Structure 1
Amino acid sequence: MYKLLIVDDEFEIRHGISHYFPWDELGFAIAGEAENGQQALEFLVDCPVDVILCDIKMPVKSGLDLARELFANQVKIKIVFLSGHKDFEFVKEALIYGARDYIVKPTKYKELAAVFSKIKVELDRESKPDSTLQPLNQVSDDDVLINKIKSYVEQNFPTACLKDAASIVHMNPYYVSTYFKKKTGYSFSDYVIATKMEKAAEYLANPQYKTYEISEMVGYGNPKNFSKSFKAFYGKNPREFRINLDEKW
C-alpha cells in the first residue's frame, strides 16, 4: 500500500475523503490528515508519504506554499491538488511545482479513481527493484546514469532519440535501451512518448495554443498521429481532453 496524506482546512471534506472513499482498492492507505500546509510539513517530518491530496487555498500555509517548499527541498512526493477555485493561474503554478493532477471540488468518484489509478501505475514503475545489470562503462551510480537519460528526454522531448541519449552517457544505443528498461520498468520510447503527452496536456490547459500548434511543439509533424498517440495515452483525444478541462473550470 502506498501512503497518502489528505490536507484540507474543511473538516467535512477532509474526513469524507479519508473515510468514505475505497482507497485500499486502489492500493493506497491513509497515513494521516492535516488542515493546512504547515501541519502537513510537520507531519512529514516523522511520517513520510508517497502522495499528498491537497487543497490549494488554506490558512497558515496554502497548498501551493506546501508544494513550493517540497519542490525547493527536492522532496519527491506526488501532489494532487483539490480546489473549488476555477482559476487557470492556479493550474499553471501547480504544474510548475510538479503537481500530478488538479481536481475541482466537488470531487467525483470516477475522476478521483482515474487520477489515483494512474498515480498507482507511476509509483509501481518507480518502485521496481534495481537491476543487477552493470553498464558497459562501469558507471558506479546507476541513478546518475538514469537521471542523465531522463534529463536529456525532458529537455529535448520534441526530438529526443535513443542514439543521442546513448551518446550523452557514452554507451551503445542497444545497451541503453535494454538497461533503461531493466532499471525503470518501461522502454526508452515509452518514456519519450509519456513525456511528450504530459507536456501536451500542460499546453492544452492553455487556451492560446491550437491543437496543431501543440502537435508541433511536442514533436509531431502530423496532427493526426499526435491525436492518435494522445488518445492512446489519456483515453481521450486532445479536443475531448480540452473540453473536459473547460467543463472543470
Structure 2
Amino acid sequence: MYKILLVDDEQEIRFGLKNYFPWNNLGFDVIHDCENGKKALEFMKENLVDVVLTDIRMPVMDGIDLARELKEKEIPIQIIFLSGYKDFHYAQNAIKYGVRDYIVKPGKYEEIEEVFTVLKKDLDKEWHKVKMNPSESNSYTENITLTIKKYTKEHYADVTLEDLSQLLKMSPNYISTFFKEKTGMNFSTYLTEIRMKKAADLLVDYHYKTYEISDLLGYNSPKSFTRTFKKYYGVTPREYRNQRTVLFDPK
C-alpha cells in the first residue's frame, strides 16, 4: 500500500475523503490527515509518505508553499492538488513545483479513481526499476539509503541515529523508519551485522585480544560483545578463532 497524507483545512472534506473513498482498492492508504501545510511538513519529518493530496488555499501554510518546500528539499513525494479554485495562476505554480495533478472539489469518484489508478501504475514502475536496476538508480531515497550504509560502515564503532540525523538533516525517528521501510531490517540489526563481520575479520588476526576487538567495535564490555557474537555466529569469539586455526593450520 502506498501512503497518502491528506491536507485540507476543512474537516468535513478530510473526514469524507479518508473514510468514504475506497483507497485500499486502488493500492493506497490514508495514514494521516492535517489542516495545513506546516503540520503536514512536521508529520513528514517523522513519517514516510508516498503521496500528498492537498488543498491549495489554507491558513498558516497553503498548498503552493507546501509544494515549494517539498520541491526545494528534493523530497520525492507525489503531490496532487484538491481545490475548488479553477485558477490558471495556481495551475502554473503547480507545474513549477512538480505537482502531478489537480482534482476539483468536491472530487468526483471517477476523477479520483482515474488519477490514482494512473499514479499507482507509475509508482509500481518506479519501484520495479529500483529493485531491478539498483546500480542505475540515482533517486533521492536510494541516495539516503546508500549514505546511511556508507557512514555506518565507516563509523561502526560509535555511530548513532543522532549522528545520522545531523548528517542527513532528518529526525532520528524518521531515519529509523525510513531505513526499515527501504531495507527490510532495523538500523540496529544492520549495525550489528556490520560489527559482527568486522569482528570475524579481526579474530583471524592474533595480534588482537578479544577484549581489544570488543573495544574497537564499540561495545561497552567484552561480555556484551561475546554474547552478541555467539547469538550471530552460534559460537563464542574464542571458539570461532579456534575453528579458524584448525581450518587453516598447514599441518
TM-score scaled by structure 1?
Answer: 0.53
SS in 1 for 2:49: coil
* Cα distance between partner residues in 2 of 1:18 and 1:51: 14
Larger radius of gyration: 2
Distance 1:8 1:143, change over 3 A: same
Question: Within 5 A, what are the aligned runs for 1:115-194?
Answer: 115-128=115-128, 129-131=130-132, 141-144=135-138
Is 1:109 the counterpart of 2:103? The answer is no
In the alignment, structure 1 segments of 5+ residues that lack a partner are: 134-140, 146-249
Question: Within 5 A, what are the aligned runs for 1:1-249?
Answer: 1-128=1-128, 129-131=130-132, 141-144=135-138
Task: Return the structure number with greater helix share.
Answer: 2
Alpha-carbon distance, 1:142 to partner: 1.9
Distance 1:130 1:55, change over 3 A: same
Alpha-carbon distance, 1:143 to partner: 2.3
Q: Which runs of 4+ in 1 moved over 4 A?
A: none
Alpha-carbon distance, 1:144 to partner: 4.4
Alpha-carbon distance, 1:130 to partner: 2.9
Percent identity between matched residues is: 51
* Cα distance between partner residues in 2 of 1:132 and 1:104: 37
Query: Once the two structures are superposed, what CA deviation does each residue of 1:165-217 show, in whole Å capped at 9, x if it has no partner?
Result: xxxxxxxxxxxxxxxxxxxxxxxxxxxxxxxxxxxxxxxxxxxxxxxxxxxxx
SS in 1 for 2:100: strand
| Residue in 1 that maps onto 2:173 | none
* Cα distance between partner residues in 2 of 1:34 and 1:69: 17
* Cα distance between partner residues in 1 of 2:34 and 2:91: 22
Alpha-carbon distance, 1:132 to partner: 6.1
Alpha-carbon distance, 1:31 to partner: 1.1
Instruction: Kindly tell me the number of residue pairs found equivalent between the two proteins.
Output: 138
TM-score scaled by structure 2?
Answer: 0.53
